[in-house]
Amino acid sequence: MKSDAVIELRNVSKAYERHTVLRNINLQVRAGEFLTLLGPSGCGKTTILRLLAGFEQADSGEILIAGRDMRALPPEQRHINTVFQSYALFPHLTVFENVAFGPRLQGVRGADLQERVLEALRMVKLEDYSARRPGQLSGGQQQRVAIARAVVNRPLVLLLDEPLSALDYKLRKAMQIELKQLQRRLGITFIFVTHDQEEALSMSDRVAVMNAGRIEQLGTPRQIYETPENLFVARFVGEINTLFGRVVAVDPPYYDICVHERIVRLKSKFIFASGDRVNILIRPEDLRIWREHEGSDEERATLFPAAVEDVVYKGSTVDLIIRLDNGDRLSTTQFFNEDDQAIVNLDFQPGERVFVDWVHDWEVILPHED
Amino acid sequence: MKTREPFKWVAVGTIWTWLALFALLPNAMVLVASVLERGQDQFFAFAFTLASYRRLLDPLYLSVLLDSLYLAALTTVLCLLIGYPFAYLLAQAPARRRALLLLLVIIPFWTSSLVRTYAMVILLKTNGLINQMLLGLGWISEPLELLYTTPAVIAGMCYALLPFMILPLYAALEKLDRRLIEAAHDLGAGRVTIFRRVIIPLTLPGIIAGAMLTFLPALGMFYVADLLGGAKTMLVGNLIRDQFLAARDWPFGSAASAMLTGLMALLMWAYYQSSRRANRGALP
């Protein structure tokens, strides 16, 4: 056990009636880190938050907070606060009274209370709104009150249950940055739940990707994105293309893999045997598109012939949907590159013949899963 | 839009006619009658006087009024104490059991409350069901005096009015957002604090509505006091009824009635003011 773990889940399982929502979860959260639980709805990420907050009891396993077993402790006695998805602000209380709710219960009174509440409101830039009621605030402002109401208690850990999902795109982006800054400033451990992989990658120190009650992978955003450990993680976090292949020659860590009748030599940390079926995973931005007149014949022998099926202009990039001659569909992202004359205008036409390959070593090879 | 005009006129017109004929006119007549003199051969003589209102200030009638207010208030408090936990459980219950419990609340409405009050007489009288049961069990050696007591009147009024308390409370508690209770727990509040600082304030409109629906009818339910209280308990409702049917003093009965209406209007105005104040913060 690491000494800096502020929260530890050991073999935690939970089922509602006969439906299992968490299977043997083991997780350590370090003090002061921003950890995100990322997964599709129903994967169990919110259940972990509810177990930590104390709203639910685990069926088995241990939950340690600062080294203490939390199972018998009701929510009000845990040194943890939650920012709810719906904000759950008290509609009958003013912003000030909402934020003062926790400190009052801790016995803070008078000038101390005033100071502490206003400090929390200043932190979220709402000190001028203390006399309003939640119903008079916008969604983003309510969100901020919810954050202030939680952090004013100076919790050991702050739990955030999809707190940005109700906000529009621009506001969400801005709040992501604010939340991250706030977390750095306060030094409080944040456990953040989201189904938005972009949000998870941009805010977190570490991400736990969850699926069907399990943690599929725990790692830094970069590890999660660049070296997914299984197909679920690879496909859930960002867009990815899958090519099927078969190992034909083994020379660890190098493997000759037959992909669409071409042999490619690739490196992998997995151990494969000759004849194994594998998936080669390539991010859209790692695919290279060659136009018909580009490259020598020699180079072309290693490329995959394909046709452009669709062109999606996205402003800073152009996304191409490509169909390989054997039928596989790939999606690629091409960046406008002003240094590269050949590609300066990405005026691809649907139906155009192209060739495809990828930057070797940027792919991920995973064992085939059925 | 034009084609709907006739329908609108008929609909609104019917309601207005109805209200004018059966609410406005009788009340106006009561108000007029209350300032007339009592007649010799007829019910009243057409001469203006405030004598009836002056008579209401007689300590005898004032004590009737105070007794009525006291009983109505007690009934309201008891209904609230019984109704709140019931409505809370009702709002928490799973959908199917909730439907059943709601049905149980509503079933008494299928019978006239007069008939139900007679049923209570059968339960409470000296050789009634309750006394016979207690005697049979050997818990008491002689029948208790249950009927024709003030507690019997209070019990009868609570029984008759409890649904009017439960239904608005249920409506308020059902709307109560469970997540707010979780949030309060999360912020460190125990059950008592949550009840006091979150649940009660958020269901206050329901509490007030229930109290009004219980308190106002309780002031006028003369037949409960008649049947269960005997002649001992005189309420404003009984007084009014007696003036019209027994004493034949219509101006005085009208004055008492007008005073009761005025009192109720005052209470409703107070409620309106307080709810306006409570909502002011929520308005943009």
Q: Which residues of B touch A113 (CB under 8 A)?
A: none
Question: Is A1's pLDDT higher than 60?
Answer: no
Give which of B175, B187, B200 to mutate to test A binding, by max A Cβ within 10 Å.
Answer: B187
Q: What local confidence, expressed as pLDDT, does residue B3 receive? A: 59
Least confident of A217-231, A330-344, B109-123, B206-220: A330-344
A27 and A167 within one domain: yes
Domain shared by A51 and A179, yes or no: yes
Same domain, A226 and A362: no
The pLDDT of residue B149 is 86
- Label each residue of chain B as H, E or C: CHHHHHHHHHHHHHHHHHHHHHHHHHHHHHHHHHCEEECCCCCEEEEECCHHHHHHCCHHHHHHHHHHHHHHHHHHHHHHHHHHHHHHHHHHCCHHHHHHHHHHHHHHHHCCHHHHHHHHHHHHCCCCHHHHHHHHCCCCCCCCCCCCCHHHHHHHHHHHHHHHHHHHHHHHHHHCCHHHHHHHHHCCCCHHHHHHHHHHHHHHHHHHHHHHHHHHHHHHCHHHHHHHHCCCCCCHHHHHHHHHHCCCCHHHHHHHHHHHHHHHHHHHHHHHHHHHHHHHCCCC
Residue A166 pLDDT exceeds 60: yes
Query: What fold characterizes domain B58-279?
Result: MetI-like fold (1.10.3720)
A228 and A354, same domain (yes or no) = no
Q: Which positions in chain B touch A92 (Cβ < 8 Å)?
A: 201-202, 278
Q: Are residues A222 and A250 in the same domain?
A: no
- Per-residue pLDDT, A292: 80
CB within 8 Å: A53 and B202: no
Query: Taking 50 as the threshold, does the pLDDT of residue A43 lie above it?
Result: yes
Tell me, yes or no, whether A134 and A169 share the same domain: yes
Is residue A33 located within the same domain as residue A126? yes
Domain with residue A300: its CATH number is: 2.40.50.140
Same domain assignment for residues A186 and A250: no
Residue with tokens 């992998």, as numbered in its chain: A268
Cβ of B187 within 8 Å of Cβ of A149? The answer is yes
Chain B residues touching A54 at Cβ < 8 A: 185
pLDDT at B283: 38
Q: Can you give the pLDDT at residue B60? A: 87
Rounded mean pLDDT, A1-24:
85
Best interface-test mutation with A: which of B186, B198, B274, B275 has the largest number of A CBs within 10 A?
Answer: B186
Last residue of a domain, one of A235, A260, A292: A235
Residues B202, A91: C-beta atoms closer than 8 Å: yes
Question: What pLDDT sits at residue B281?
Answer: 45
Domain limit, last residue, from A235, A266, A290: A235
Residue A14 sits in the same domain as residue A103: yes
Mean pLDDT of A15-31: 92
Q: Taking CB atoms and an 8 Å cutoff, what residues of chain A touch B190? A: 76
Q: What is the DSSP string of A226-244?
A: HS-SSHHHHHHSS--EEEE
Question: What integer pLDDT is reported at residue B85 of this predicted model?
Answer: 95
Residues A106, A195, single domain; the answer is yes
Average pLDDT across each block of 10 residues of chain B; the chain has 284 residues. List them in order: 76 93 91 86 81 89 89 95 94 91 89 88 87 87 85 91 94 92 94 94 90 89 85 80 86 91 87 71 40
Q: Which residues contact A109 (CB under 8 A, 6 or more apart)?
A: none
What is the tens place of the pLDDT at every residue in B214-245?
Answer: 998 898 888 888 888 876 777 888 888 888 88
Same domain, A148 and A51: yes
Contacts of B282 in chain A (CB under 8 A): 91, 133, 135-136
Distance from CA of A303 to the nearest CA of B (A): 57
Predicted-complex ipTM score = 0.81
Domain that holds residue A301: 241-367
Q: Are residues A211 and A282 in the same domain?
A: no
A30-34, A48-52, A343-347, B122-126: segment of lowest average pLDDT:
A343-347
Tokens for A65? 């907070």
Among A235, A253, A287, where does a domain finish? A235
Report the pLDDT averaged over residues A281-308. Answer: 84
Instruction: Tell me the nearest-neighbour CA distance from B206 into chain A, angstroms.
Output: 14
Give the count of Cβ contacts less than 8 A between chain A and B: 70
The domain tally of chain A equals 2
Residue A368 has pLDDT above 90, yes or no: no
pLDDT digits (tens, 9 = 90+) for A235-264: 999 889 999 999 999 888 889 999 888 888
pLDDT exceeds 80 at position A343: no
